[in-house]
Amino acid sequence: MQDKVNYISPETFDKIINYIPVLGIRKWQDEDIKMLYKTMYYCALRANEAIFLKKENFNLIDREIYLGKTKTKKQDTAHIPHIFVDELTLWLSVKEKGRLFDGLTYDRVYHWCRRIGIDLDISAWQSNESEIGEKVITHLFRKSIGKEMLNGTHGEKASTIPVISKHLRHSKPSMTVDHYLKASLESVKEAW
Rounded to an integer, what distance in angstroms lies between the CA atom of residue 104 and that of residue 100?
Answer: 9
> Which one is predicted more confidently, 188 or 49?
49
Q: Which of 96, 101, 92, 99 is nearest to 59 (CA)?
A: 92
Phi-psi region of 121 (alpha: psi -120 to 50; beta: other; left: phi over 0): left
Rounded to an integer, what distance in angstroms lies between the CA atom of residue 121 and that of residue 19?
Answer: 12
Per-residue pLDDT of 31-49, as tens digits, reads 999 999 999 999 989 899 9
Q: Which of 17, 47, 19 is nearest to 34 (CA)?
A: 17
Q: What confidence score (pLDDT) does residue 108 get? A: 96
Q: Which of 161, 146, 181, 165 is nearest to 41 (CA)?
A: 146
Residues in CB range of 145: below 8 A, 6 or more apart: 41, 42, 44, 167, 168
What separation, in Å, do the N-terminal and C-terminal C-alpha atoms of the chain show?
15
pLDDT tier, 172 (very low <50, low <70, confident <90, very high otherwise): low
Task: Specify the CATH number of the domain 10-191.
Answer: 1.10.443.10
Per-residue pLDDT of 141-166, as tens digits, reads 877 777 776 666 666 666 566 666 66
Domains of the chain, by residue range, sit at: 10-191
